[in-house]
Structure 1
Amino acid sequence: MENPMSELKGKNLEYWQHYCREKNVAEDTYVEAGMAGNSEITDGLLHLYLQGKKTAGSGLVQDYKQSGDPLPKIGNHWIILDAQQNPRCIVKTIAVEFHLFKDIPLRIAIAEGEGDSSLEYWRKGHRIFFSAFLADLGIDDLDEAEIVTEFFELVWK
């Protein structure tokens, strides 16, 4: 698996190197940098990460497969950027689970920390978000689609 760390530049690379020095983490540890959602919602989601309310995120497995991106893996790091592309914190993946959309358990909705943290809110919000991608991914029935959820711990801010 290629490490996107080689693609880190400027302030993101400096932020990562500072974290690695301070926490004695190998710089070649798998890391990506990106916003938590689109620019309209990223700062709200970032706030949840910084407060410790958002400790998980979910995606469509088919999206990873089609794009060629590796599935989340325990030990991966993610530099979360704000809407202005500034690094604001680093989270580390501590667990990964797979479920069908229809079988997502309440604890995932709670860990994602959005809205009222109910399963109903999670399903509605993710159904709306994922609906834009279903046709391109060849998914006819979202309820039967495989979802990957990665659980994080905030390791740097």
Structure 2
Amino acid sequence: MKKKCGQPIFRKTRVGEHNVILRTNGEAVCVTKTTRVSVVPFMQVSAEHACKEGEGDRSLTYWRTVHAQAFADELAEIHMNFSEDMLVVCEEFQVVFLPIGR
């Protein structure tokens, strides 16, 4: 998350845009194309979205637990608090390019 004067800067994600996914060392992992974007309150993220994200046991309970903690940790860095009614961006994408050897 980028920050300016202690406040997060959000870039609007758009359907059809491409993103290069990088490792922490800057190495490209793949290129994705955004296919769907929705902005919903944290507690309205669907079980379908949680399953598609593919983390842990793919349940909504698992998703909420790990994301609540991750969001709380990130927000604490800028002296903000996590709230279950905060808006979150749910993005779906397809992988459109994998480097050779992946």
After superposition, where does 1:10-89 map in structure 2 within 5 Å?
66-89=7-30
Structure 2: give runs of 5+ residues left out of the alignment: none
Structure 1: give runs of 5+ residues left out of the alignment: 1-58
Of residues 69-78 and 91-100 in structure 1, the stretch that sits farther from structure 2 once superposed is 69-78
Higher relative contact order (CA 8 A, sep 6+): 2
Query: Aligned letter for 2:95?
Result: L
Match of 1:142 among 78, 83, 100: 83
Instruction: Kindly report the root-mean-square deviation, in angstroms, between the aligned alpha carbons of the 2 structures.
Output: 2.0
Could you give the per-residue CA deviations for residues 118-143 of structure 1, whole angstroms, max 9, x where no partner exists?
A: 0011001101101113343644x521
| Higher relative strand content | 2
The alignment covers a number of residue pairs equal to 93
Q: TM-score, normalised by structure 2?
A: 0.79
Q: TM-score, normalised by structure 1?
A: 0.53
| Higher relative helix content | 1
Is residue 2:79 matched to residue 1:127? Answer: no
Query: Aligned letter for 2:71?
Result: F
Match of 1:151 among 77, 92, 96: 92
